[in-house]
Amino acid sequence: MTTRSETQSTLTHLLTEIEHRNPAQPEFHQAAHEVLETLAPVVAARPEYAEPGLIERLVEPERQVIFRVPWQDDQGRVHVNRGFRVEFNSALGPYKGGLRFHPSVNLGVIKFLGFEQIFKNALTGLGIGGGKGGSDFDPHGRSDAEVMRFCQSFMTELYRHIGEHTDVPAGDIGVGGREIGYLFGQYRRITNRWEAGVLTGKGQGWGGSLIRPEATGYGNVLFAAAMLRERGEDLEGQTAVVSGSGNVAIYTIEKLTALGANAITCSDSSGYVVDEKGIDLDLLKQIKEVERGRVDAYAERRGASARFVAGGSVWDVPADLALPSATQNELTEADAETLIRNGVKAVSEGANMPTTPEAVHLLQKAGVAFGPGKAANAGGVAVSALEMAQNHARTAWTAQRVEEELAAIMTSIHTTCHETAERYDAPGDYVTGANIAGFERVADAMLAQGVI
């Protein structure tokens, strides 16, 4: 039987190969390291996972699509962006994962997101594979007409690679209801099919699901609450710092407030706001969702309880809970030191890989409950899968039913991660629990389906 040290040596060699075969993709390297460095115990215990090159296949996408996206702005100038879709693993079901429109998007970012999505989707138990896509297009400051022309051009290439039984994209950073609408319209136009299940995050009047916009933020708060319950606490009366001011952050704040916590921050690229009375959701939604403005406008209009801090770090604000809900690697080792010094009890990731590996290590060493994104923010993709189920049945569920399903899924994910960590002698380590539990589900399916 292979020892744990021999297995770790094999995995370390594989990580070196990943870096060699995927140069200049630091985000993907980071995601692969974060998962593979926790797998030695399970591979040592179940050597069948090592024999058919299973892990080597797992870290190599089944398909990577890169294409140009030409479009005209309102002045008639032609722009050319780059589009991506990485279909990473379909052992459990059709590829499922969002589209991100942001200048930072490149192949390495999409591969990191797609790799994370494999395990996140597996943890939901809903039969969906992992994928991700997007473009380096920036919708910020663009007119609706420009966004429509870009989306139509993007879908003109993407449509041939997706379908409700093949690959089902959704939204992510820069892709909300407006963009999904334009993308779906072009897909319908090209294919001559009303295939509602090809995209999720649709409008509620044409195939979308209630609670989908709220799901990632709601789910993250539910996961944080479950971690606190393990420690004999609840959210009532806790102070929370939240980063970001997009969809995930807004509904994280909403659910925190509903469960009795006081969310006192939000942020964007210009800086952050601290509101000692608690974030006024109606005002924040007006500024970010309607006016598409910046968070400094919130402080100006909120009054004496709020202040805007240009630059700096939202993690400098003392709180019981921290919920990073913006983007990858936003919470650094120095930020973790500050949070620990200020007495943080739990950190739960609403964004994808927002905490650096060094910061994760510090938080865990300090005894802070840490919920990794692949578990804590799985609520969004879970409700996307529920939207697919509604589409297949040509029906629509009530908000209450969707929210009950979401709560049950997040409870199940927490239980699975917690019990798996204990099974592999890592009690309380949700990173190890999430990685191993997600891996086992995907690996068993891959073994059953042969070397493909």
Active site residues: 132
Other Cβ atoms within 10 Å of 34 Cβ, number = 20
Dihedral angle over CA of 32, 38, 44, 45, nearest 10:
-120
- DSSP-assigned states of every residue in 195-219: -GGG-SS--GGGT--TTTTTHHHHH
CA distance 264 to 241: 6
Expressed in angstroms, the distance from the first to the final Cα of the chain is: 26
Q: Which neighbouring-strand residues pair with 95?
A: 129, 167
- Spatial separation of the C-alpha atoms in residues 27 and 132, rounded to whole Å: 14
- Nearest residue to 354 via CA among 374, 378, 337: 374
CA 151/CA 244 separation, integer angstroms: 24
Environment class of 398 (CB within 10 Å of its CB; exposed 0-12, middle 13-18, buried 19+): exposed
Phi and psi at 399, nearest 5°, equal -60, -40
- Strands across the sheet containing 129-135: 63-72, 78-89, 129-135, 95-101, 167-170
Question: Between the CA of residue 79 and those of 85, 138, 141, 157, what are the distances in Å?
Answer: 20, 12, 15, 16
- Judge residue 6's burial from the number of C-beta atoms within 10 Å of its C-beta, 0-12 exposed, 13-18 middle, 19 or more buried: middle
Q: Would you state the structure tokens that stand for residue 380, as one six-digit string?
A: 């969004």
